[in-house]
Structure 1
Amino acid sequence: MQEIELPLRGEHIPLDALLKATGLAPSGGTAKQLITAGEVQVDGQVELRKTCKIRAGQRVTLGNQAVRVVADGEAGEG
């Protein structure tokens, strides 16, 4: 599984924005469709809320790709 590390600026990022920012979805509309279809998992559980607040320490999975969210300044430490 390919894992991307995303440094978080601020306290959280909405799930749909995370998918777009990491390139897992080419647009916000596609991100929302993927979430609604149940294709996205947060910490191993299917997440259907498009604007679910993703915080540092959480892991988002779509297919064979994963995003590990880290606090800004912690990138590369884990």
Structure 2
Amino acid sequence: MAAHDVPIGDDTIRLGQFLKLSSLLDSGADAKSAIADGLVTVNGEVELRRGRQLHPGDTVTFGDESARVSRG
């Protein structure tokens, strides 16, 4: 499964925001629930912090879809 690149405007983005931006999830509420339930991984590790700072090169996976943070 190949991750699609999602450009961000700053140097970092919070995990909850990135899940919406990348269209892996539709809303902030969905992101909060998925993260709390341990369904989201960052670089292959389960991440339970919605405010986790992501940097270009980080890969976020939810279900069978992945998105990689890239510079905008």
Q: TM-score, normalised by structure 1?
A: 0.85
Q: Is the contact between residue 3 and residue 59 of structure 2 (CA under 8 Å) also seen in structure 1? A: no
> How many residues of Structure 1 are paired with residues of Structure 2 in the alignment?
72
Find out whether 1:22 has 2:27 as its counterpart.
Answer: no
Percent identity at matched positions? 36
Q: TM-score, normalised by structure 2?
A: 0.92
Alpha-carbon distance in structure 2 between the residues aligned to 1:70 and 1:22: 11
Alpha-carbon distance in structure 2 between the residues aligned to 1:65 and 1:40: 10
In the alignment, what sits opposite 2:42? 42
Task: Measure how far apart 1:14 and its partner are.
Answer: 0.6
Gaps of 5+ in 1: 73-78
Q: Is the contact between residue 57 and residue 69 of structure 1 (CA under 8 Å) also seen in structure 2? A: yes
Gaps of 5+ in 2: none
Task: Measure how far apart 1:2 and its partner are.
Answer: 5.0
Alpha-carbon distance in structure 1 between the residues aligned to 2:5 and 2:31: 18
Task: Measure how far apart 1:8 and its partner are.
Answer: 1.8
Alpha-carbon distance in structure 1 between the residues aligned to 2:8 and 2:60: 13
